């Protein structure tokens, strides 16, 4: 038995699901879905576009700027939260982030320990430093990697 669900069953541009699955056993129309309250009414606004010739109408910059502002605020909140949770000097933690982004090398355990407001016991230093380094790398992965020029 084959089960296929699609919003675009019969297409000529890339794949014809009728050819693969056969004729549908049941059709639930868009109008019926809206009337039943399962789908949201919508308006269609067509845009012609070609990646090679696309020209911005200015709104892209506004949205990008708003997103960048939001993303930077969220990043700052995350930095502050990590520093608060771990008892780290904010400036020193930011310097560790910048150093990692420049060199690609995580900070040394001793660097992390020196950034702590209250150094841990000697036997705990390695695990504390490794935990903080993991948080630093996670923060960079979440907020900085792959975002291009945002």
Residues ≥6 apart with Cβ < 8 Å to 113: 119, 120, 125, 128, 129
**Backbone dihedral region for residue 17 (phi beyond 0: left; psi -120 to 50: alpha; all else: beta):** alpha
Are the CB atoms for 92 and 115 separated by under 8 Å?
Answer: yes
122: tokens are 């000697």
Determine the 3-state secondary structure of 16 from DSSP: strand
Q: What is the pLDDT of residues 83-108, one digit of tens each?
A: 999 999 999 999 999 999 888 899 99
pTM over 0.85: no
- Confidence label for 150 from pLDDT (cuts 50, 70 and 90): very low
Are the CB atoms for 127 and 109 separated by under 8 Å?
Answer: no
Residue 141 has pLDDT above 60, yes or no: yes
CB atoms within 10 A of CB 88: 22
Residue 118 backbone phi and psi in degrees, to 5 = -130, 105
């Amino acid at each position: 038995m084959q089960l296929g669900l699609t919003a675009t069953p019969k297409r000529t541009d890339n794949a014809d699901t009728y050819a693969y699955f056969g004729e549908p056993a049941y059709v639930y129309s868009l109008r019926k879905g809206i009337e039943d309250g399962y789908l949201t009414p919508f308006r269609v606004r067509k845009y012609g576009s070609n990646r090679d010739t696309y020209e911005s109408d200015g709104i892209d910059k506004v949205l990008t700027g708003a997103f960048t502002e939001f993303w930077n605020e969220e990043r700052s909140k995350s930095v502050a939260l990590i520093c608060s949770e771990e008892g780290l000097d904010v400036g020193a933690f930011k310097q560790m982030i910048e150093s990692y982004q420049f060199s690609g090398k995580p900070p040394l355990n001793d660097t992390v320990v020196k950034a702590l407001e209250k150094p841990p016991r000697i036997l705990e230093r390695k695990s504390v430093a490794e935990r903080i380094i993991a948080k630093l790398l996670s923060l960079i992965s979440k907020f900085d990697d792959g975002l291009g020029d945002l």
